[in-house]
Each structure stands twice: as C-alpha cells, then as structure tokens.
Amino acid sequence: MDHWDDDFLLHESRLRVPGWATAGLDLVLIQKGGSDRHYYRVSAHGPYDGPPSTILMVYTDRRADNLSFFAATEVIGLTGARVPEIFHHDPVRKLAWLEDLGRQDLWDWRADDAMRLPLYRSALRQVARLHGFRWEDIPPHLQEQMQPPFDEKLYAWEQDYFFNEFARRFSAAGEDRLGIIRAQEEFAALRRTLASLPRSPVHRDFQSQNIIVRDGHTWMIDYQGLRPGRPEYDIASLLYDPYVNLTPAEREELSDYYFSLRTDDAIECSPHLLAMCACQRLMQALGAYGKLGVGDGKKSFLRHIPPAVANLRAVIAQSGLLPSLHEVLELRPDALTESA
C-alpha cells in the first residue's frame, strides 16, 4: 500500500469531493476489520457546499477483489439495494471517496431488543433485492469485473482453509486424525451439492459489521467479494454471525421472513440448504479467525472462535450434516489462551 501522508490525503480530498474546494478538513483513521484496506473519515468545516464528511478508502492491488468493489457498487445499485455513493475514484493512486453512511452498523444494535429484529428484517429485504436479480441481467462489462463464482473448487478452498488455519491450530484431534477426517466423503458431498445448484449474485461477507444503519434503514458495505453463489450463504453469514448472539427462535423467525421474500423468484431456497451453507460459512469464518488471530497476529479475532464453534455445533446437531465435525470442534485445553 502506498503510504500517503495526511497532508496529501487532505489536499486530494479538497480537490476530489464536490463542494470542498474551500473547506477546512479533518482526517481520522478508522481502525476496523481484517483487510488490507485503510479507511479514513474526512470531515469538513468552515465554508463549503458539499457533504459534511466522506469515507476515504486507501486500497492495494494485492487482493483482486479490491478493484471489484467499484463494479460491485454499480451492480448492487442496479438491484435497487442501498449502497454508498462513490464521489471519486483515483485508480492510479488507489484512492476512493465514498458517501459516509455514519458510525453505526448492525452490530451496534445487537442489544436493542426493540430495534434488533426490525433492522435484521430491513437487512434481509436489501439482500433479497440482490439475490432476486438475475446474473444474466448484469451488463457483461460489470460481470467481467466480479470475483469468480462459488464452485466446487472455491468450496474446497474454504474447507481446506478451515482445516489448515483453524483445526490444525486449535483442535484436540491430532494431525493424522485431522487428515483422515478432512478426506471423508461428507465434505466432498457438501461442496459437490452446493456447487451443482443454481446461483444468484451474493455479497459473500454479509454479516453485522458490513451492514450500516442510518435513519432506521440498512445499507450494504464491503461487498467487493460479490459473485454468483447460493443466496443461503449470505443468510447463513448473517444469522449465524459469531459477532451477534441471536437465539434459535430469532434465527428461525428471520429465516422464515427471508424465505417469504423469495417466493416469486426462480431460485428456490430452503431451510436444509441454509443449514448446508451455514456449515460451509462457519468453517470459512473459523479459518479466517485462525489466520487473522494467529497467522497475522490480530489477537482480537480469537475471541470470536468460541461463539463460531458453538454456532457450528448447533447447526450440525440440528441438521445431522458433517458428523465428523464433532471431533474436530473439540478444542485442545488452553488452545485459545496459548495463542493469545
């Protein structure tokens, strides 16, 4: 990543954001997430005629999906779902000024008993717009800029990520035993089945911290991983999100609500497919927490492992899927404290 100094970023912001030519500006780094992108909040004061603030994204080309963000914004806009406006994109310097949707995400509302479920329903309505949009209706030049579709290879990569980055580090099962388990047919069958099903556009990381709440409405962010996939993958990402402790009753109510939104669409969704996608998504999430928490030294991600394990245990117990995971999810004593 190019390390631009603050004065340069402020100078560029004054030039690139409409109405900011004469504004005084302040720049604050927003510390959040596990990506290689940096986000700043740039606030205006004094004489200006433009937005009161913007989000400045500084990105790299080390990840292919970083550039996909801009085409994905157009795609989601076509569906009618809410996304931030892009005021200016400088692809040479890898800078972009985005609409500031505010400081609260869905995670911030997790303890509000009155608003939590209405906001989750709002988020489900937004993502249902995306899922109901046919991939074939996306202009070809935008399709070309999206990420590769969910296929058997990608599902296999997520499962390997789980075993390599999580199970190898934390499971009580030894390495030889883990090798035997990961070769079980049940994992191959899961990825074959999911890869064989019809696909729609999906967010890929549709969880509480990637949904902004403004004026009682929800907006999607961090959707650069948009690609063809199963809609239940996004729903599993939200309803089994380890960051928020939803009850089983809340999950059932919200999944039923989502299914009621999709009755007229060509792609049929079902609770069983939701369970399959929840297994797949939670394995991917646990792999990410192991990689970020230990491999990248971002220890704060380790605290999400226990709720993710609990959620995955609940899914496999209720659905009967992937019985071999019960053994993998037995963690070594003090495994998490040793890594912290």
Looking at residue 18, its amino acid is P
pLDDT beyond 70 at 34 = no
Q: pLDDT band for 64, please (50, 70, 90 cuts).
A: confident
CATH code where residue 82 lies: 3.30.200
pLDDT given for residue 340 in this prediction: 74
Q: Do residues 75 and 163 share a domain?
A: no
Q: What is the mean pLDDT of residues 303-315?
A: 97
pLDDT of residue 255: 98
Q: Same domain, yes or no, for 266 and 325?
A: yes
Residue 27 has pLDDT above 70, yes or no: yes
Same domain as 308, residue 252: yes
Shared-domain flag, residues 212 and 276? yes
| 338 vs 59: CA distance, rounded Å | 33
- Residue 32 in this model has a pLDDT that exceeds 70: no
Same domain, 123 and 252: yes
**Does one domain contain both 161 and 137?**
yes
Mean pLDDT computed over 156-171? 98
Distance between CA atoms of residues 274 and 247, nearest Å: 16
Q: Would residue 154 count as lying in a domain?
A: yes
Total domains in the fold of the chain: 2
Considering the entire predicted model, what is its pTM?
Answer: 0.95
pLDDT category of residue 226 using cuts at 50, 70 and 90: very high
Place of tokens 């049940």: 186
Whether 1 has a pLDDT exceeding 60, the answer reads no
pLDDT at residue 3, as a whole number: 74
pLDDT at 80: 97
Q: What is the pLDDT of residues 120-150, one digit of tens each?
A: 999 999 999 999 999 999 999 999 999 999 9
Range of the domain at 36: 6-99
The pLDDT confidence band at residue 33, using thresholds 50, 70 and 90, is low
Q: What element of type H or E holds 181?
A: helix 175-182
The last residue of a domain, from among 81, 99, 117: 99
Query: What are 177-223's pLDDT values in tens digits?
Result: 999 999 999 999 999 999 999 999 999 999 999 999 999 999 999 99
Residues 229 and 292 in one domain: yes
Average pLDDT over residues 6-32: 94
CATH of the domain at 252: 3.90.1200.10
Residue % of the chain over a pLDDT of 70: 98
What gap in Å lies between CA 254 and CA 290, rounded to an integer? 29
Cβ proximity of 248 and 314 under 8 Å: yes
Q: Residue 35 above 80 pLDDT?
A: no
**Position 1 in a domain:** no
